[in-house]
Structure formats: structure tokens, C-alpha cells
Amino acid sequence: MIENAKKYYIQTYGCQMNVADSNLMANHLNALGLKSTDNKKEADIIIVNTCTVRDHAEHRALSYVGKIKDLKKRNPDLKIVVAGCVAERLGENIKKRFSYVDLVFGAKSIEGFDKVFDKLLKSPSNPPLKKGEKEEFRNKINISKFVTIMRGCDNYCSYCIVPYVRGREKSRPINEIVYEITSMAENETKEVTLLGQNVNSYKSEGNDFADLLSAVNNVKGIERIRYMTSHPKDLSDKLIDAMANLEKVCEHIHLPLQSGSDRILNLMNRQYTSEKYMKLVDKLKNKIPDISLTTDILVGFPGETDEDFQKTLDIINKIQFSFMFAFKYSQRPLTNASKLGDTVAQKDIEERHAKILNAAYGISAEKNAKLIGTRQEVLVEEMRSGTFIGNTRTNKKVFINSEEDLFGRLVDVEITDAKVNSLTGKCI
């Protein structure tokens, strides 16, 4: 036990990629001998990992930076770091608005953050970890981990700021990823989620994403593999076959549709049509009958008419996604869509968003109800007030009441009840 170790607190906004980046920073701080805290008032360093994908997300992150000013007043030694996509977009301007911020470093610099941190913390008063102390910093959710396999995006969907703040696409070497996952497996990780904006573009020494899946499938101790996200414009047959044939790859794919109107998809620069998307769905359902499909829908893109929107509703009713994330269009700087006129009235955006949510709830409730009485394999990742919580291979949350300690285990569960966003079950 290290006495008086410095403490850090990380506030994360946005996507899984940001969560993975926050974990990377946490691991480095742990290795320097700092301790994580859930109470920001006792922190010596606060990192705000920000998101700028929508205006609302950016505001939330920046207003958080505003709120922690008082903590700095109380403790002048507190270091405040603003990281992530807003940090990339606004850079040192953040310090003009929040003079008490010590360090701004953007999403593109994440790979060099360790040097920047070391400088910020100067020579930390905490000794590095000694052997055997590693357990002290065991992550609460070691069972399932995110692994960033590539960074950045080259797709330039016309509404999206990600390529500008996260930079060009770059894959991590396959050996490095497999090594990392092997050591996770040795430290009780059973499930990994491979992260990339478009995993179909993964490339390393002649290997593509399907090859990476095969390599991870061979890692002893890993029981489940998930990934996100696959861009429909180039979801390959090879990848669909790999999903169908590799036993550890879960029967779930997140395949953002965005819109059901070909005119809007074209304006979005998505590079597929609704027909091509439907063909992919058919192929996936044929090869992987139990597959669960989830998607992102963006409403209110400039110029979206009632007719365009109806096409989106039609296709989602046809496909019956297990889960849908619905987003209201938010105009982002630098993007091509920000130069388009013809904005949709806010009240129409709200109305369309509500209609998507309504459809999504109906479909999810119906699909989940059909699971009552079925058997599902569940990986138990959490325990909250006596109830165990886990996920099915199709990525549905299951609550299980059990006298037996199920934490970290793969169990067979019979589904006894279903809600829109979760299931309840008992161990068989």
C-alpha cells in the first residue's frame, strides 16, 4: 500500500474510443503510482476527456470544466487536464476561456500523452509500483475490455467532425494488439471489444480485420470477441464469413444506417444505397441466423424532407433492429454539411427523433419479449445490490438473482422476463 499516493479523477464524455483512451491514461497514471478516486474533491489531478461529435456533447464537457474551477480555488496544487476531441478542436483557446486549466492535449496526441503527463507531474512524489502491488489497481471491470485497434477516420461523412479531430486513419500493428489481449486474458479478461471507426479498413502487415479476428480467436482465455464499428460501404464477405466461423466472435454487429433515403445518404457521403444496405442485412441474417443488428440513425440532416424521413422509418420497420441510437443532426464546424443551406426546422427534428425512438422502443420490446423462455449464454460483469448483471452474446443486458457468486463467469441463463432495454433471467 502506498501512503499518501496522489489521486486522479477522470471524467469521460463520448464514445467507446474515448473510454478506451481514458483507460490508457488511467493505466499510465497507475504505473506512475497514482491512485484512482471516485471523489473529484480529493483528486490531485482531474482529466476531462471531451467529445465534440455534437454541439450538445461539447457544451456538456466544457460546462464541466467550468464547474471544477471551485476545486482549483480550494486546492491550487490541483492539476486540470482537458483532453480528447474538444481539446483537439479548440486547442489552447480552452485556456483563454478557462485560465485555470493546466494542460490541453487533443485526441490526435493521445499516443504521446505519457511524455506530456510525466512533464506535468514533474518527478512524481510517488514511487513507481513494486512487484505484487499491481492487484491494488485492479480495474473493476477487468472482465470485459475495450481495445483500440485503429485510430482516426478517412471517410469524411459530410456531417461528421471526427476525421478533423481524430485525424487520418492509422491501424495498430497486429502483433501489438494480440500481445495486449494475451496479457489482458492473463489478468482475467474474458471479453474484448475491438474498436475502430471503420474496422473494414484495418490493415497491418498484409493482414485485414478478418485476419485480426482469427488471431484474437486463438488467444487462450478470451471467450468472446466483439467489435465496432463496421461501415456498410465496405463490410466484406470475408468479414461476414469470419463472424460466422469463428466461435468466439459474438453474434452482434453495429452497422450505422444513418438514413433510409438514397438522396440523403448521397449528401451524407455515405457511399452506399438503402438497397445495398438491405442486401448486407440479408447476407448477415443468412450466414448468422441469430445475429443481432444495431444501428445509428441521424435525423434532420440538411434538406431531409418528410418523404426522406418516411423512407428511414420504412427501412427500420423492415429490418427490425435490436437496438437503435437516434441522433438529432447537429451542425459541426469544418464539415461539408455545415456549408449546406436548407436546414430542417428544430421542431421537425424533435418530432422525427421522437418517432424513431418510438419505433425503436416498439421493436426492441417485441424482440425482447420473444426471448422469454429461451436459454442465453451470459457473461456476468457486474454486481449491484445483490443482483448480477451481464450480457448475452447478442449484447443484451440481463439481470440475474443468484445466491451463488457469478461475478466474472459465463453462465447459462433462462430468460424469465423482458423489458425494452433489458432481460431478467435465472441460472440453469
Which residues here bind ligand SF4, judged by CB under 6 A? 153, 155-157, 160, 162-163, 197-198, 231
Which residue in the set 8, 98, 159, 164 belongs to the binding site for ligand 5AD (CB under 6 A)? 159
Distance of alpha carbon 19 from alpha carbon 49, whole angstroms: 8
Site for ligand 5AD in 19-78 (CB under 6 A): 53-54
> Under the criterion CB under 6 A, does residue 296 sit at the interface with ligand 5AD?
yes
Size of the site for ligand 5AD (CB under 6 A): 12
Q: How far apart are CA 293 and CA 233, in angstroms?
A: 16
Give the C-alpha separation, 155 to 267, whole Å.
13
* Letter string b/e over residues 199-224, b meaning 16 or more CB atoms within 10 A of that residue's CB: bbbbbbeebbbbbbbebbeebeebbb
Binding region for ligand 5AD (CB under 6 A) out of 81-89, 117-125, 304-312, 322-330:
322-330
Question: Which of ligand SF4, ligand 5AD, none lies near 231, with the C-beta cut-off 5 to 8 A by kind?
Answer: ligand SF4
* CA distances, 424 to each of 28, 197, 397, 402 (Å): 38, 32, 8, 12
Q: Indicate whether 332 belongs to the interface with ligand 5AD (CB under 6 A).
A: yes
Cα distance between the two ends of the chain: 41
- Nearest approach, Cβ of 93 to ligand SF4 (angstroms)? 23
Rule CB under 6 A: say whether 330 interacts with ligand 5AD: yes
Choose from ligand 5AD, ligand SF4, none: what does 155 bind? Cβ within 5-8 Å by kind: ligand SF4
From the list 18, 52, 171, 258, which residue makes contact with ligand 5AD (rule: CB under 6 A)?
Answer: 258
Q: Examine residue 377 and tell whether it contacts ligand 5AD (CB under 6 A).
A: no
Closer to ligand SF4 at the Cβ: 98 or 323? 323
User: What are φ and ψ of residue 368, in 5° steps?
Assistant: -65, -40
By C-alpha distance, which of 161, 107, 151, 165 is closest to 336? 161
User: What, of ligand SF4, ligand 5AD, none, does residue 163 touch, CB below 5 to 8 Å by kind?
Assistant: ligand SF4
Per CB under 6 A, 114 contacts ligand 5AD = no
Q: What's the one-letter identity of residue 82?
A: V
Amino acid at position 139, single letter: N
In whole angstroms, the minimum distance from the beta carbon of 256 to ligand SF4 comes to: 7
Cβ distance to ligand 5AD smaller for residue 53 or 61? 53
Q: Contacts for 341-344 with beta carbons within 8 Å, 24 or more apart?
A: 341/302, 342/302, 342/303, 343/302, 344/300, 344/301, 344/302, 344/303, 344/304
Would you count residue 160 as binding ligand 5AD (CB under 6 A)? yes
Residue 327 interface partner, choices ligand SF4, ligand 5AD, none, CB cut-off 5-8 Å depending on type? ligand 5AD
Residue closer to ligand SF4, measured from CB, 185 or 239: 239
89-126 burial, b at 16+ Cβ within 10 Å, e below that, comes to bbeeebeeebeebebbbbbbebeebbeebeeebeebeb
Q: Which is nearer to ligand SF4, 270 or 367 (CB)?
A: 270
